[in-house]
């Protein structure tokens, strides 16, 4: 991940000065707030729990009979809780890039929180499930409305149909530059790969030069 290596000044930066993308004043780190978004039950909380190096913050509430008409648990036999506000975790990548991961709620009734959670974020990882790909469309719309660069990670469940990447890209109507990855949110390797792809995509889309990033 050359583009975010510690000490890599980046285009237009004074030599020896690291890129600062975020709020904390550590000059050796690149900091990024990222949103993990996706429809109900797609694995957002699971991914953040899998990846975080600190104790994660979750706002999980038990799912009840009352929610049954709107909370579609088809294909999610183990799911018993849902996120009602936000998930939070942190992951340091090789090269001293620190990712702050904010998970959004997946249920429509909590979408009003979305803008607050996404404020200050530099990019979004949109999770999708091939059993219900269309559920990710409105999430991608919200991310695009926020002007956030994003990557799509297809979280694979045992009965998820497999499709070639080009078919998925066409179905999701992805821009050629938008990264598309397959992952298992319960498994570290593929989940890290998805976040690294997003982080690199974010850095590719940021304007060059230190003055643009500092103080954000
Ligand atoms: N088989 C399989 N199950 C998964 C995977 N990821 C998550 N799960 C399970 O699927 C369910 C949904 O996961 P969550 O992480 O709660 O999903 P979420 O997107 O945070 O859900 P909401 O916050 O309610 O929108 C849980 O029971 C997980 O154990 C996966 O990659 N494979
Ligand atoms: Mg959740």
Per-residue pLDDT at 9: 34
Pairing of strands 150-155, 123-128: parallel
Query: Would you state the pLDDT for residue 13?
Result: 36
Find the 57 Cα to ligand 1 centroid distance in Å: 16
173-179, Cβ contacts within 8 angstroms, sequence gap of 24 or more: 177/201, 177/204, 178/150, 178/151, 178/152, 179/151, 179/152
Q: What is the pLDDT along the chain (216 residues), one digit of tens a residue?
A: 433 333 333 333 333 344 545 445 467 888 999 999 999 999 999 999 999 999 999 898 998 777 777 777 888 888 888 898 899 999 999 888 999 999 999 888 888 888 899 999 999 999 999 999 999 999 999 999 999 999 999 999 999 999 999 999 999 999 999 999 999 999 999 999 999 999 999 999 988 766 544 444
Q: Which option is the CATH number for 2-213: 2.60.40.10, 3.40.50.300, 3.40.50.150, 3.30.70.640?
A: 3.40.50.300
Which ligand is the nearest neighbour of the Cα of 46? 1
Closest CA to ligand 1's atom 2:
157
pLDDT of residue 69: 74
pTM: 0.84
* 62: region left, alpha or beta (phi > 0 left; psi from -120 to 50 alpha): beta
User: Does ligand 1 lie within 6 Å of residue 22's CB atom?
Assistant: no
- Ligand 1: residue of 36, 37, 39, 45 to mutate (most ligand atoms within 8 A of CB) is 45
Ligand 1 nearest-atom number relative to CA 79: 27
Q: Does ligand 1 come within 6 angstroms of the Cβ of 58?
A: no
Q: Whose C-alpha lies nearest to ligand 1, atom 14? A: 43
- Ligand nearest, relative to CA of residue 158: 1
Phi, psi angle pair for 156, to nearest 5°: -90, 125
Residue whose CA is at the smallest distance from ligand 1 atom 27: 79
Q: Count other C-beta atoms under 10 Å from residue 66's C-beta.
A: 8
pLDDT at 63: 83
Contacts of range 22-25, beta carbons closer than 8 Å, 24 or more positions apart: 22/98, 22/100, 22/122, 22/216, 23/120, 23/216
Nearest one of 121, 136, 212, 216 to 169, comparing CA atoms? 136
Cβ pair 209, 12 in contact under 8 A: yes
Distance CA 72, CA 53 (A): 31
| Alpha-carbon dihedral sign for residues 184, 106, 161, 101 | negative
> Could you tell which of 39, 42, 43, 61 is best to mutate to test the pocket of ligand 1, judged by most ligand atoms within 8 Å of the CB?
43
């Amino acid at each position: 991940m050359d583009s975010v290596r510690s000490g890599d000044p980046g285009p237009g930066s004074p030599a020896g000065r690291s890129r600062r993308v975020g709020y904390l004043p550590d000059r050796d780190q690149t900091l990024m707030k990222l949103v993990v978004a996706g429809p109900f039950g797609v694995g957002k909380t699971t991914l953040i729990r899998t990846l975080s190096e600190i104790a994660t913050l979750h706002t999980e509430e038990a799912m009840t009979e009352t929610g049954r008409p709107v909370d579609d648990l088809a294909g999610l036999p183990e799911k018993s809780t849902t996120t009602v506000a936000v998930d939070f975790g942190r992951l340091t990548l090789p090269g001293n890039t620190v990712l702050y991961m904010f998970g959004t709620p997946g249920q429509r009734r909590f979408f009003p929180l979305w803008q607050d959670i996404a404020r200050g974020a530099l990019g979004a990882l949109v999770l999708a499930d091939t059993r219900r790909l269309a559920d990710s469309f409105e999430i991608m719309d919200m991310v695009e409305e926020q002007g956030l660069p994003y990557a799509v990670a297809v979280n694979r469940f045992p009965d998820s149909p497999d499709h070639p990447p080009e078919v998925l890209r066409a179905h999701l109507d992805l821009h050629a530059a938008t990264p598309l990855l397959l992952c298992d949110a319960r498994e570290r390797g593929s989940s890290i790969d998805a976040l690294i792809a997003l982080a690199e995509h974010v850095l590719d889309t940021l304007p060059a030069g230190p003055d643009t990033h500092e103080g954000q």
